Amino acid sequence: KHYLCGYCAAFTNIAVTFPIQKVLFRQQLYGLKTKDAVHQLQKDGIRNLYRGILPPLMQKTTTLALMFGLYEDFSSLLHSHLSAPELLTRSMAAVLAGTTEAVLTPFERVQTLLQDYKHHDKFTNTYRAFKVLKVYGMREYYRGLVPILLRNGPSNALFFGLRGPIKQCLPEATSYSAHLVNDFICGGLLGAMLGFLFFPVNVVKTRMQAQIGGEFQSFSKVFVKIWLERDRKLIHLFRGAHLNYHRSVLSWGIINATYEFLLKLL
């Protein structure tokens, strides 16, 4: 049931927040201001607003199903085979779940290509994007894997480790709706915090995955290149972070509240 609840929570979230994600994506890739990114989407037209939704829909639903489901499975497995403290086993379970999620990198890779307006004429749909990448070999599907691994494991450990303590700090819920609100707040705060913390990692991942063919540059090399392009200013590296913060509050609030709601129903 943890897998099913995670899947449904992700589906609900993607359907609601995809347009916001597209604005954020343009900011990460080109360092645009919010109004410029929105204007770029307006020029693309309403037909292209949900262009590229299939890969994140497939990737995020599967990823969150694995994230919640594998976390529970790995936690039970490690707890029964190790005599380590529960905090350690649960942290290890979260990192293992996040690492396993990286298998789905090709979907995140294709989403990046479909959202980049420079590739609108080259890729008409998800199938076409996968087909074009096939020419470059399997490795091309996993471009940007390193930043994804750097993001997934630690963020999962922090999310599952802090979810309980944060909820305990909120006013005690005395009704079903109050529990739902608390779960939304808890998930939203955590998602926003982690989204901000790992924002530069996602900026590097986006830049790496926007490239087709050519040299596979290291994480550090791409990071330095972006750092120099943006005048060596930290604030420029975080362009779009404020929008990501608000999107994460909404996204992870929806995810956590939907997950806990469905978990109680099943």
Two structure tokens written together for 266:
């099943």
Note the pLDDT tens digit of each residue in 122-160: 877 888 889 989 999 999 999 999 999 999 999 999 999
Would you say domain 1-265 falls under CATH 1.50.40.10?
yes
Q: How far apart are CA 182 and CA 180, in angstroms?
A: 5
Note the pLDDT tens digit of each residue in 108-128: 898 888 877 787 778 778 888
| Whole-number Cα distances in Å, 160 to 51, 114, 148, 215 | 32, 31, 18, 36
pTM value is 0.81
- Residue among 207, 211, 199 at smallest CA distance from 241: 199
Q: How far apart are CA 98 and CA 262, in angstroms?
A: 22
Give pLDDT < 70 ranges for the chain: none
Q: How far apart are CA 254 and CA 177, in angstroms?
A: 14
